[in-house]
C-alpha cells in the first residue's frame, strides 16, 4: 500500500501520528511543497493507493481523480472539503473520510487581523526595525461598528469578542433572523446598511453557489473610506479584482486577508505590493491542536479502511 501526504508545508506530519502502525510493507511519502497544476499532480500521485490531503490546498476534481488509477482511499483534514468531487469518488467506489477540526482558531485569527489593522502592528514593527519611531496614529475600536457577514458558529464567536471590546455589532446573511441575531446579542440589518455604516466588515460565510461573489464592487464601494475589510473565510466570497481596486485607490482604509483566489499566493501578486493590506498565508486553521487531530485521525481512517471499515465518511 502506497500512501501520500500532500502539502505538509511545515514538515510536521511524520511527527504528529504513529505512522509505524501502518501495515507492514506500507510506503509513506510526504510532499512538503505544493505540487502545482493538475498535470503535475496527476504525474506525482499516479502510483498511490491512499491520499491524505490538507483541506483545499490541492483540489481533487473529477478530471484529476480519473487520472489516478490506483487511488482507493481519500482522506481530507476536516469534515468538509468543497475541492473534492465526491460524486466522482463515489462513481469509482473511493471512500472519502475526514477528521475533526477545532472551531475557534479562525475566529482568533480574525481578531488578530482586526487588531493588526487598528493598532498598525505590522507597519510599526517594520518601521521600528528600520530605525523609525511612531510613524502613524492607531485607532480605538471601542464604540465603533463591527459588521459580521454570516452569524454561524465562527461569526458568533467574532461578534461576541466585538461586544466585549465595546463595539456596536450588526450582522447580515441571507438566512439570518432577528431571533438568531438577538441570541448572539447583536442586531440584524440589511446588507447595504451593514457595508455602508460599519467600521469593520468581516466575512464568515460558507462558500456555495448562493454566496460566491457575495461581496463585489457595489458592497466595497459603499464602505466608508475609513473602514477595514477582513476575510478569513473563503476567497470566492469576494470579487478579488474589485477588492484590489478599492485598496489600490484607497476607497477603503485597508484589508486583512487570510484567503486568496490562488494559493499559495505567487510572487509578484498585486496584493503583495499594497501597504494597506495585512496578509497571512491561510493559517486560520493551522494550529498545533488541529494538526495533531488531523494526522492522528487520518491514520485512524486509513487503519479502519484496511480492516474493511469506513469511519468519518464525508457525505
How many other CB atoms are there within 10 angstroms of residue 124's CB atom?
16
Q: Residue 61 and residue 38: Cα distance in Å, rounded? A: 9
**Does the annotation mark 145 as catalytic?**
no
**Does the annotation mark 263 as catalytic?**
yes
- Out of 234, 240, 297, 312, the active site residue is 234
Cell of 288: 498545533
Residue by residue, DSSP assigns the chain as -EEEE---TTS-GGGSS-GGGSPTT-EEEE--S---SHHHHHHHHTT-SEEEE-TTSS-B-HHHHTT-TT--EEEESSS--TTB-HHHHHHHT--EE-----SSHHHHHHHHHHHHHHTTHHHHHHHHHTT----S-----TTSEEEEE--SHHHHHHHHHHHHTT-EEEEE-TT--HHHHHHHT-EE--HHHHHHH-SEEEE----STTTTT-B-HHHHHHS-TT-EEEE-S-GGGB-HHHHHHHHHTTSSSEEEES--SSSSPPTT-GGGG-TTEEE--S-TT--HHHHHHHHHHHHHHHHHHHTT---SB--
**Does the annotation mark 282 as catalytic?**
yes
- Out of 56, 282, 297, 312, the active site residue is 282
- Out of 38, 108, 124, 263, the active site residue is 263
So which residues are the catalytic ones? Answer: 234, 263, 282
Amino acid at each position: 500500500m502506497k500512501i501520500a501526504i500532500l502539502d505538509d508545508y511545515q514538515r510536521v506530519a511524520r511527527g504528529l501520528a504513529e505512522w509505524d502502525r501502518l501495515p507492514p510493507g506500507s510506503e509513506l511519502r510526504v510532499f512538503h511543497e505544493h505540487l502545482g497544476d493538475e498535470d503535475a499532480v496527476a504525474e506525482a500521485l499516479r502510483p498511490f493507493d491512499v491520499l491524505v490531503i490538507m483541506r483545499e490546498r490541492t483540489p481533487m476534481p473529477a478530471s484529476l481523480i480519473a487520472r489516478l488509477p490506483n487511488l482507493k482511499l481519500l482522506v481530507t483534514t476536516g469534515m468538509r472539503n468543497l475541492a473534492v468531487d465526491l460524486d466522482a469518488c463515489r462513481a469509482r467506489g473511493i471512500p472519502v473520510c475526514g477528521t475533526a477540526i477545532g472551531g475557534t482558531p479562525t475566529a482568533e485569527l480574525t481578531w488578530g487581523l482586526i487588531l493588526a489593522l487598528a493598532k498598525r502592528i505590522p507597519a510599526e514593527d517594520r518601521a521600528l526595525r528600520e530605525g523609525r519611531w511612531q510613524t502613524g496614529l492607531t485607532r480605538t475600536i471601542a464604540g465603533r461598528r463591527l459588521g459580521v457577514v454570516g452569524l454561524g458558529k465562527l461569526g458568533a464567536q467574532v461578534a461576541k469578542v466585538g461586544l466585549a471590546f465595546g463595539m456596536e455589532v450588526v450582522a447580515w446573511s441571507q438566512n439570518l433572523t432577528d431571533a438568531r441575531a438577538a441570541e448572539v446579542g447583536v442586531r440584524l440589518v440589511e446588507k447595504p446598511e451593514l457595508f455602508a455604516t460599519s467600521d469593520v466588515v468581516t466575512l464568515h460565510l460558507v462558500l456555495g453557489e448562493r454566496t460566491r461573489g457575495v461581496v463585489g464592487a457595489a458592497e466595497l464601494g459603499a464602505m466608508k473610506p475609513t473602514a477595514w475589510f477582513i476575510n478569513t473565510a473563503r476567497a470566492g466570497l469576494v470579487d478579488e479584482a474589485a477588492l484590489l481596486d478599492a485598496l489600490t485607490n484607497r476607497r477603503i482604509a485597508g484589508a486583512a486577508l487570510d484567503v486568496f483566489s490562488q494559493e499559495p499566493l505567487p510572487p509578484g501578486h498585486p496584493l503583495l505590493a499594497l501597504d494597506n493590506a495585512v496578509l497571512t498565508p491561510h493559517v486560520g486553521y493551522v494550529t498545533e491542536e488541529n494538526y495533531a487531530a488531523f494526522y492522528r485521525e487520518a491514520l485512524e481512517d486509513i487503519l479502519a479502511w484496511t480492516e474493511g471499515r469506513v469511519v468519518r465518511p464525508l457525505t
